[in-house]
Amino acid sequence: MPEMVWASDGQANVPYVFHDPADSTRVEGFEYDIAAAIAQRLHERPRLVQNDWDGLIPGLKRGLYQMVLDGIEMTPEHRAAVLFSRPYYVTGERIVVRRDRQGLDSFEALRGHTVGTIKDTLAERMLTGEPTISTRAYEEESNAFSDLRNGRLDAILLDEPIALYYGAVSPEFRVVGESIGRTQYGIAFEAANHVERDRVDAALGEIIADGTLHRILARWNLWTPMMADALGDHTDIHVPPDAWERYRTSIGALNGWGAHLRRYIGFLPLVLHGAWLTLAVSACAMILAVALGIVLALSRRYGPRPLAFLCGLYVEIVRGTPLLIQILFIFYGLPSLGVTLSPFLAGVLALGLNYAAYEAENYRAGLQSVSRGQMEAAIALNMTHAQALRLVIVPQAFRTVVPVMTNDFISLLKDSSLVSVITLTELSQTYVRLSSTYYDYVGTGLMSKRPEMTRCDPA
């Protein structure tokens, strides 16, 4: 059966696409159900690709997947970048405050207060358009609610589904006032992919016409008068909000030491997988860094002048640009040049090439620490220049730089968290997913702590 490959950021994305609080290995959400219904109409098997929000559209343009469902608002800016299907959800903005807060139940009442929201949304545009409101925009909604809980925000303004699933399920918050504004979500496609857009759009039209979309949204308690007006569907299909009730029950069952212990035990497979991927990426990248670093150091120290200049230029450029930019360039930029790498290979290559520049300088310092007499003695013993380097100079230099190389591996192990931006769910990404789902940043953080190593002093 052919696959329908779609993408979403399911790390902290309730109720769109998220990991079930009762079973962290299970993915669910109303967009997850919509994707499954569309795939069924197309007679294809749906496959979800996890990607960070900022990487969803670049990944679409790179061809990693056919489409994106992630609550993407159909704004003029977004329409200029991608193709959209017909709207599959229409909603407004709602205000969430702490349970004891009074008076902030309208947009006008937010003036003079500090209000949080999500980046690149209608709510952010509304808030930044009002100069008397101090706006704080977040990548993840869970971070906004944490700041509201801790008193750093007076209120939050965001899409109604998020307000319902974050604000209405917690005894600490209240959803207040009426819906504000209007926004539409659409399925995003690569700008030139009209054929795929039309095919999926037809399937979406089918699930709207036969009431499947209505039933999905009703299960998640997301069928609203605004949706009924938008689709012209005012029927009452008597579908209980079982998915909503299940989520509320799961969140309510997270309290108590027994629940925490069971939850942490359930985390183990995900944490171990993330740890294994972190170590695998780091080890492979370090092997590449060591091998290439030795070549660069030897070329700069003993190679012909043009080669030494090129190696020096490489070292300076790589050390002078951010690692994150290099990762994004290798993963998203190289395909435009005809080089397409898997996320794992792209992560290994980016980390390896970056750290090779630092290793090269360490090895060059080690080579310079070996006295000139060692080379002269080796030549006097009738060794060739290459033999002298391989048997006399390099072993002595390598022993000098081992402690520094160990420190660099520790740094590389930490920097491996950056590969999460190219869809690799390593240890840091696993922590983000679990902590944002359960609002547990302490216990989950201790479980996801990277392996500690003792730094070695060069002395």
Q: Are both 360 and 310 inside the same structural domain?
A: yes
* 155 or 396, higher pLDDT: 155
What distance in Å separates the CA atoms of residue 167 and residue 172, rounded to the nearest whole number? 8
Provide the pLDDT for residue 454. Answer: 38
* CATH code, domain with 127: 3.40.190.10
Instruction: Say if CB 325 and CB 261 are below 8 A apart.
Output: no
Q: What is the mean pLDDT of residues 314-334?
A: 89
- Integer angstrom CA distances of residue 247 from 28, 243, 342, 438: 10, 6, 35, 12
Q: How confident is the model at residue 456 (pLDDT cuts 50, 70, 90)?
A: very low
Residue 437 falls within a domain, yes or no? yes
Q: Are both 246 and 354 inside the same structural domain?
A: no
Q: Are both 338 and 375 inside the same structural domain?
A: yes
Domain limits at 366?
260-447
Is it the case that residue 263 has pLDDT exceeding 50? Answer: yes
Q: Are both 239 and 305 inside the same structural domain?
A: no
Is it the case that residue 428 has pLDDT exceeding 90? Answer: no
Q: What percent of the chain has pLDDT over 90?
A: 47
- Residues with Cβ < 8 Å from 221, sequence gap 6 or more? 164, 241, 243, 244
Q: What is the pLDDT of residues 363-374, one digit of tens each?
A: 888 887 777 788
Provide the pLDDT for residue 453. Answer: 40
* 268 or 406, higher pLDDT: 406
> What is the identity of the amino acid at 143?
N
Is it the case that residue 448 has pLDDT exceeding 90? Answer: no
* 55 or 74, higher pLDDT: 74
CA angle (25 as vertex; 15, 165 as ends), nearest 5: 15
Q: How confident is the model at residue 458 (pLDDT cuts 50, 70, 90)?
A: very low
Residue 337 falls within a domain, yes or no? yes
Q: Are both 68 and 106 inside the same structural domain?
A: no
Closest CA relative to residue 295, chosen from 389, 379, 377: 389
Q: What percent of the chain has pLDDT over 70?
A: 87
Q: What is the mean pLDDT of residues 253-270?
A: 56
Q: What is the mean pLDDT of residues 382-392?
A: 81
Q: What is the mean pLDDT of residues 250-274?
A: 61
What one-character-per-residue DSSP string does 354-388 give? HHHHHHHHHHHHHHHHS-HHHHHHHHHTT--HHHH
Number of Cβ within 10 Å of residue 3's Cβ equals 12
Is it the case that residue 451 has pLDDT exceeding 80? Answer: no
Q: Which of 169, 184, 199 is the last residue of a domain?
A: 184
What distance in Å separates the CA atoms of residue 331 and residue 62, rounded to the nearest whole number? 9
Q: What is the pLDDT of residues 93-105, one digit of tens each?
A: 999 999 999 999 9
Point out the least confidently predicted range of 15-24, 251-260, 306-315, 317-326: 251-260
Instruction: Specify the number of domains making up the chain.
Output: 3
> What is the identity of the amino acid at 415?
D
- Residues with Cβ < 8 Å from 313, sequence gap 6 or more? none
Q: Are both 32 and 93 inside the same structural domain?
A: no
Helix-, strand-, coil-residue percentages of the chain, each rounded to 5: 60, 15, 30
Strands 114-118 and 155-159: parallel
Q: Are both 241 and 336 inside the same structural domain?
A: no
Closest CA relative to residue 160, chosen from 28, 12, 17, 15: 15
Provide the pLDDT for residue 452. Answer: 43
The pLDDT mean for the chain works out to 85
Q: How confident is the model at residue 258 (pLDDT cuts 50, 70, 90)?
A: low
Residue 452 falls within a domain, yes or no? no
Q: How confident is the model at residue 61 (pLDDT cuts 50, 70, 90)?
A: confident
What distance in Å separates the CA atoms of residue 315 and residue 289, rounded to the nearest whole number? 12
Q: How confident is the model at residue 408 (pLDDT cuts 50, 70, 90)?
A: confident
Q: Are both 117 and 223 inside the same structural domain?
A: no
Residue 82 has phi, psi (to 5 degrees) of -140, 165
Residue 459 falls within a domain, yes or no? no
Residue 455 falls within a domain, yes or no? no
Is it the case that residue 423 has pLDDT exceeding 70? Answer: no
Number of Cβ within 10 Å of residue 215's Cβ equals 16
Provide the pLDDT for residue 204. Answer: 97
Provide the pLDDT for residue 296. Answer: 93
Q: Are both 62 and 22 inside the same structural domain?
A: yes
What distance in Å separates the CA atoms of residue 137 and residue 116, rounded to the nearest whole number? 6
Is it the case that residue 267 has pLDDT exceeding 70? Answer: no
Instruction: Say if CB 132 and CB 111 are below 8 A apart.
Output: yes
- Long-range CB contacts (< 8 A, 24+ apart) of 165-171? 165/14, 165/15, 165/247, 166/14, 166/96, 166/141, 166/142, 167/94, 167/96, 169/247, 169/248, 169/251, 169/252, 170/145, 170/251, 171/99
Q: How confident is the model at residue 177 (pLDDT cuts 50, 70, 90)?
A: very high
Q: Are both 265 and 358 inside the same structural domain?
A: yes
Q: What is the mean pLDDT of residues 221-231?
A: 94
* CATH code, domain with 327: 1.10.3720.10
What distance in Å separates the CA atoms of residue 175 and residue 162, rounded to the nearest whole number? 10
* 423 or 213, higher pLDDT: 213
Residue 34 falls within a domain, yes or no? yes
> What is the identity of the amino acid at 84?
F
- Residues with Cβ < 8 Å from 32, sequence gap 6 or more? 8, 16, 17, 48
Residue 7 falls within a domain, yes or no? yes
Q: Which of 221, 253, 285 is the last residue of a domain?
A: 253
Q: Which of 253, 269, 300 is the last residue of a domain?
A: 253
> What is the identity of the amino acid at 372?
R
Residue 289 has phi, psi (to 5 degrees) of -65, -45
Q: Are both 350 and 229 inside the same structural domain?
A: no
Q: Are both 331 and 436 inside the same structural domain?
A: yes
Residue 329 falls within a domain, yes or no? yes
Is it the case that residue 395 has pLDDT exceeding 90? Answer: no
Q: How confident is the model at residue 268 (pLDDT cuts 50, 70, 90)?
A: low
What distance in Å separates the CA atoms of residue 379 and residue 386, rounded to the nearest whole number? 10
